[in-house]
Every structure is written in C-alpha cells, then in structure tokens.
Amino acid sequence: MNALIKSATIVDSKSDFHNETVDILIEKGRIAKISKRISNPNNYREIKLDNLHVSQGWFDSSVSFGEPGFEERETIDNGLKTAAQSGFTAVALNANSNPVIDSYADITFVKSKAQNKATSLYPIGALTKASNSEDLAELFDMKNAGAIAFYDYQKPLDNPNLLKIALQYASNFDGLVCSFPQESRISGTGVVNEHINSTRLGLKGNPALAEELQIARDLFLLEYTEGKLHIPTISTAASVELIRAAKGKKLDVSCSVAIHNLVLTDDYLDGFDTRYKVLPPLRTQKDCEALIDGLKDGTIDMVTTDHNPIDIEDKKIEFDYAKFGTIGLESAFGALQTIFSTKKSISLLTQGKQRFSVNESTISEGAIADLSLFNPDADYQFSKSDITSRSKNSAFLGMTLKGKVYGIIANNKIVLK
C-alpha cells in the first residue's frame, strides 16, 4: 500500500514531528518520508482532508463483538470495520460470546476471522471455563495461541481462592489476569447506582460499596501473590483511591475506565432509557470528577469504550429486564474531547498498549504506518447515521460531540469513511 498524506498535523509526543503540519509519504505500509512538502511523481493515492490531524493508532482494551454465537449483535468482520472507521488500529476482544472463548481452538478461531483486516484484533481469553467461575480455563494454552489477557467479561469472581491461584499460575508466563470489580452478593439484582436517583425512580440499586469491596479484596490477593492484575472499568471515587494506594505500594496493578462513566451520570436515568443501563452503572458527578482526576495523575492507566453491542430485542424492553451495555467505538473520540484537550485525548486512546502487549509505533521515518486520522475541531450531534455497528444501543445518541474521525492507515491498508 502506497499513499501520500498531505498537510497533516502530527499529534504524537514521542515523534520528532509532534505538532508540525507536514506531508507523510507511505510506501509498502511504512513511513518513507516526512517533510513540509513532498511531491507525488509516482501518482500514489493522495489523502487530503479538512483540518487533518494524525496520531499513532488508537487501542481499545475492552470490546465485544458477539461472534461466535451472537452474530445478530455484531460480527467480527463488521466490528473491525467499525473500529477502523472510529480510529482504532487495535482492539482487545472480550470472551463475551456463545460459546465463551476459553480454549486454544477458540482463540485461533477469532484470530482467523480477523486476518487481513486494517484493525488488529487481540483476543482476551476467559479466566474460567465457560466463564462460570468454577474452574480455571486453559490459560497457558490460550496464551500460546495469542491471548493477551484473561477475563470473565463483567462476571465477578466470587471465589477469592480461585483468583489467588489464577494470579500465581499466570505469573509463571507473565499472564495478565483481569477481575471485574463487583461483589455480587452486595450488588444483588441492582440495575443502577444506589443513590438518590435510584430511590426516586424506584429502580433497584447497585451500591458503590460492591465495587470497592471487590477491589479491596483483589488488591490484598495481588499483594499476597505478587501477580499481575488489571481491573477493568472502575467507576467510583473510592475505587480511584484504593488503586492509587496500591500503586503507592508498587503493586503490579493497572485499571481502566469506560468513557461513558466519565461523561454521563445517573441523572440521565430519568426517562428510563435502557441505553443508559450499563455495568458498572452510571454513578454521580463526584465520581466522574474523581475518575477524571485519576486519569490526569496516572492512577487510571487507560480509557476504554467497553463497546458492547446489544440487539434491540434485549434493549427495547422494561428497564429491569434489559441487558447491560452500550456501544462506544463510534463516539469515543468525540466524547473524550468534551472533557479533555486533543493532546490528552490522544494520549488516553494510545495508552494501554504496553500493558496488553500490543505493538507500539511512533510517527517517524522508517516506522510501520499505524495511524489514526481525524479532525479535532468538528462539533456535531451524534446520531444513528454515525453508527456503523449492527446494534444501535449508544448512550451518546443526541449528544453534541467534538471531533470527527476520518479512519485509519494500518496493516498496509487504508480505511476512510
């Protein structure tokens, strides 16, 4: 693949060309030249776009596509197309499928479905067999097949001894164990944050305590085992403090926060719209502010869309019975920019690669072209026409977002909207 990108502003603090507006020549999938002005004698495809900015490719540490088993929600093929058009050159795929991805063969299957795509797919294997929290899955075999981490998606591991064993076992091959932060006996059948709004609306509450107790337990186990732990999608102010203290002890822990938990609060629940039924639930403004501070000071390592397509039959029903989840790939950049500067938003979208063993590539001559293309200044109202996913369950529909994504150049391919 050969191309010439014209007049692009580079946003990459690790690049010598950071903040410069330049032309970028790509030959055979690599950056051949970066200069103020490059001619095109070979008649390569030219990419000229309004207010074009370019950064190293974005990474999402938590996406679900459904396949195998839930193709009506999303397929791997269309999911990767959606990711590419949303600016992501790499995504980590949860074992949120039927059957659950819990073996060498399952990892091989999903990787085969993602071959020759612009966006790279990195599978996360289930931590326990069938994600049933009873027996550990084939962790070492899945690691050898290409699994980058192990996680029972949004299913708490109630047995602390099982997590202890997982942390000890995975440390033998540098495996990354993920534990969903929810104490299920405390959360019970709660569907929203337990607070003033849950009481006012008559909806069952899931208290912040459920998350914080589980995180405290997991951090004690981590300290005991000296393992390697990732806590996905934290959502409360006290959770930030717990992880901040753990990092102060030099424990090998990382965590993420879903973008919707940064931008939205439980005040959005007034209309009983199930698009806002997510797990962990939307919390309070105080929690949002603490999470944002956690990202600013590095306590929280990365953001994620926690992209989770849900078909209309499981969303357009009574709030108590609707499934948890929102899609988030298409809205990620625009939503982040309602809170952070462009530079910080890009930093957050590229962090996490090292933790999940994903290839990093700065924008420099000779480097592999792994690029996200975008206009950071375009304000627009997010609508269904902006959604490429099969499922349309976005919590950001109707919101004014800032920044339009053009697409990506990665894996020797160009994908533009």
Catalytic residue numbers read 306
Q: Which residues 6+ apart lie within 8 Å of 327 measured at CB?
A: 305, 307, 308, 309, 387, 389, 391, 392, 393, 394
CA distance 324 to 312: 12
Q: Which residues 6+ apart lie within 8 Å of 358 measured at CB?
A: 59, 90, 92, 120, 122, 148, 352
Name the amino acid, one letter, at 136: L
Q: Can you spell out the DSSP letters for 3-39?
A: EEEEEEEE--TTSTTTT-EEEEEEETTEEEEEES---
Q: Which residues 6+ apart lie within 8 Å of 66 measured at CB?
A: 72, 73, 74, 75, 79, 96, 97, 309
Q: Can you spell out the DSSP letters for 134-190?
A: SSB--HHHHHHHT--EE--TT-----HHHHHHHHHHHGGGTPPEE-----HHHHTT-
Cβ 160 vs Cβ 231: under 8 Å: no
Query: Which residue, 50, 37, 53, 56, is CA-closest to 364?
Result: 56
Burial string for 61-76 (b: 16+ CB within 10 Å, else e) reads: bbbbbbbbebebbbbb
Q: What angle do CA 316, 321, 325 make, to 5 degrees?
A: 70
Cα-to-chain-centroid distance, residue 302: 8
CA distance 174 to 404: 38
CA distance 258 to 295: 12
Cβ 118 vs Cβ 142: under 8 Å: no
Cβ 215 vs Cβ 254: under 8 Å: no
